[in-house]
Structure 1
Amino acid sequence: MKDLSEPEAQLVAEHQANLLFSAERFFERGRIPKAIRRAFLKTPRHSFAPKFYSSQKREWIDLSKAPIKEHIAEIYSDHPLCIYRDANGRSLSTVSQPSLVLYMLDLLELEQGHRIIELGGGSGWNAALMGRLVGDSGYVKSIEIIEELVAAAQSSLAAMGLSQVDFCAGDASLSAETSEPFDRGVFTASAWELPSCFFSQIKDDGLLLFVLKAQPHYDLLCLLKKTESGVFTSDLHFPCSFVPVTGSQTIPEQSPRPISETGLALASELTWDSIKIPAPSIPQFLEFLKLVYDCQHTYLLPNHGQDFDEEFWGVLDPSGKSLVIFNEDRLLVYGEEDCLIQVRRAAKRWQKAGCPEIEDLKLSFHASAATLAPNNDQWLVKRGETTLLWSL
Structure 2
Amino acid sequence: MEPEIEDHITRFLGMLDTAFRRRGEALPERLRRAVREVPRHRFVHRFRADRDHPVEDFDAGRQRHLAAIYSDRVLTHLGPDDAELDSTNSQPSYVLWLLHRLGLEPGHRVMEIGSGSGWLAAVMGRLVGDGQVAGVEILGDLARRSRDDLAALGMANVAIVEGDGAAGHAAGAPYDRAMITAAVWDPPAALFDQVAEGGRLLLPIALAGGAGRDCHVAVLRREEGRFRMLEAVPGGFVRFTGPGQDRGAERCRLDQLPFWPGIGATPSLRRTLPLGARDPARFGGAAYAFRLFLGQTEPGFTVFDDGAAEDLSTSSFGVLDAAAGSVAVCRPGMLLGYGPPAAARRFDAAYRRWAALGMPGPAAFDLEVVRAEQAPRSRPGLWVEMRGASALVWRLPAPFSPPRAGRRTAIRDRPPPAGPTTGIRPPGP
Q: Give your verdict on TM over 0.5.
A: yes
Question: What are the superposed Cα offsets for residues 332-379 of structure 1, whole Å, 9 maximum, x if unpaired?
Answer: 233333333333332222222222222212222121122421112232
SS in 1 for 2:166: helix
- Over the residues paired in the alignment, what is the CA RMSD in angstroms? 2.9
CA distance in 2, matches of 1:156, 1:260: 49
Q: Counterpart amino acid of 1:235?
A: L
The answer as to whether partners of 2:253 and 2:306 remain within 8 angstroms in 1 is yes
CA distance in 2, matches of 1:62, 1:113: 36
The answer as to whether partners of 2:79 and 2:85 remain within 8 angstroms in 1 is yes
SS in 2 for 1:207: strand
CA distance in 1, matches of 2:377, 2:80: 43
Q: 1:340 to 1:128 in 2, by over 3 A?
A: same
CA distance in 2, matches of 1:90, 1:98: 19
CA distance in 2, matches of 1:144, 1:339: 42
2:345 maps to: 341
Q: 1:284 to 1:42 in 2, by over 3 A?
A: same
2:306 maps to: 300
2:71 equivalent to 1:77: yes
CA distance in 2, matches of 1:86, 1:154: 17
SS in 2 for 1:233: strand
- Counting only pairs closer than 5 Å after superposition, residues 27-42 of structure 1 correspond to structure 2 as 27-28=23-24, 30-42=25-37
Q: Counterpart amino acid of 2:19?
A: A
Q: 1:142 to 1:101 in 2, by over 3 A?
A: same
2:269 maps to: 268
Count of residue pairs the alignment pairs up: 373
Q: 2:100 aligns with which of 95, 103, 106?
A: 106
The answer as to whether partners of 2:185 and 2:206 remain within 8 angstroms in 1 is yes
Shift, 1:95, TM fit:
1.2
Which ranges of structure 2 fall in alignment gaps of 5 or more residues?
276-283, 309-313, 397-429
CA distance in 2, matches of 1:179, 1:41: 27
Question: What are the superposed Cα offsets for residues 257-289 of structure 1, whole Å, 9 maximum, x if unpaired?
Answer: 134635252432334489xxxx98444323322
CA distance in 2, matches of 1:56, 1:297: 27
1:350 maps to: 354
Shift, 1:249, TM fit:
5.5
The answer as to whether partners of 1:259 and 1:300 remain within 8 angstroms in 2 is no
Q: 1:282 to 1:311 in 2, by over 3 A?
A: closer
CA distance in 2, matches of 1:366, 1:286: 24
2:172 equivalent to 1:167: no
Shift, 1:123, TM fit:
0.4
2:55 equivalent to 1:49: no
Percent identical residues: 30
CA distance in 2, matches of 1:134, 1:249: 33
Q: 1:15 to 1:285 in 2, by over 3 A?
A: same
The answer as to whether partners of 1:16 and 1:41 remain within 8 angstroms in 2 is no
SS in 2 for 1:319: coil
Question: What are the superposed Cα offsets for residues 89-138 of structure 1, whole Å, 9 maximum, x if unpaired?
Answer: 444111111111210111101111111111111000110111111111x1
- Counting only pairs closer than 5 Å after superposition, residues 234-313 of structure 1 correspond to structure 2 as 234-248=229-243, 250-252=245-247, 254-259=250-255, 261-264=257-260, 265=263, 266-272=267-273, 281-293=286-298, 295=301, 297-300=303-306, 312-313=316-317
Q: 1:179 to 1:44 in 2, by over 3 A?
A: closer
SS in 2 for 1:212: strand
- Counting only pairs closer than 5 Å after superposition, residues 1-392 of structure 1 correspond to structure 2 as 6-25=2-21, 27-28=23-24, 30-55=25-50, 58-68=53-63, 70-84=64-78, 89-136=83-130, 138-175=131-168, 177-178=170-171, 180-214=173-207, 215-217=210-212, 218-228=214-224, 230-248=225-243, 250-252=245-247, 254-259=250-255, 261-264=257-260, 265=263, 266-272=267-273, 281-293=286-298, 295=301, 297-300=303-306, 312-317=316-321, 319=323, 321-392=325-396
